[in-house]
Structure 1
Amino acid sequence: MLKKIILLIDDDCDDAVLFSAALDDVEENIILLYAKSGEEGLQMLSEMETRPELILLDAGLPGMNGWECLKLLKEDSRFKKLPVIMTATSSRVEGIDEARNLGAEGYIIKPSRFDDLKNIMQVISSVSDGLLKELLLRLQVTAPKTIFVFAEN
């Protein structure tokens, strides 16, 4: 069976370990690739033969922040259609609105409990063509203050 790819762009190594562990607990047919910066993530994408199913993009990256990276992704014809979910530790309305305006599919406030992260990764890992928004909407019902799903941009 072909494995799906998810690209995590996050400068926090501890978060990367947690995302990877949560994903390993719920789905073995997904490869989680990791980039520590927006620049590294864009470079990885440029060199990949197989595009990821999804990009999880941390908003608070140093240097090129997540919103700048998202803007570049959505302006590049090679990556424009790749679904991106912004992740952050903050629920600032301005950040959520910016992610929506730049074309992200959703915005997830990083959970503090590992079981909550596993639940999120369970839903995200079952993504298949065209079902991401539907799956995120189901997840949003269980955590309306931490998961935001955006209408078509």
Structure 2
Amino acid sequence: MKYLSLIICSVILFACAPSKKKVCEKIDDGIRTYLEKVASKQNKELTINQLTTIDFEMVGAGRLDTLIQQNYSHKISRFLTLQKTATNQANSKAYLDSVNYYAKLDSLTSLQITTRWRDPKVYYYSKTIVNMTTGDQKLVDTMRYALDKSFKLMPLL
């Protein structure tokens, strides 16, 4: 009797969970909606030839903060390179200000990461194949996107 109730509970649990294919389709719809909204704001024509999510994982806010922090580090290194190659003092100062700004954001994000441990995994982090044309630019790549529980895309800067 004990085993029978355990089997019935597990069958009900697996029957109620959405399939991976359905979740991938919802992720695709969320990404498509976001891309169309951005294209319309920029007054560009968008043609999406292929948008297929091939995999996703559930992540917490700490993982998203880590991704944002990596983006800040990339921007800091880019502005440092631009500062070294700047020809006049005004541009060099502007690049240094940008470096300082992103360094502050990076340190604040580091503090957030240290306070978030065992955070609930409430975000989808997808691996999506994108084949689209916007204006005169064509993009064919495998992209990573973060979406919330309602399948709204979260820009990671």
Using the size of structure 2 for normalisation, the TM-score is: 0.18
Q: Bigger radius of gyration, 1 or 2? A: 2
Higher-strand-fraction structure: 2
Using the size of structure 1 for normalisation, the TM-score is: 0.18
Structure with the bigger RCO (C-alpha within 8 Å, sep 6+) is: 2
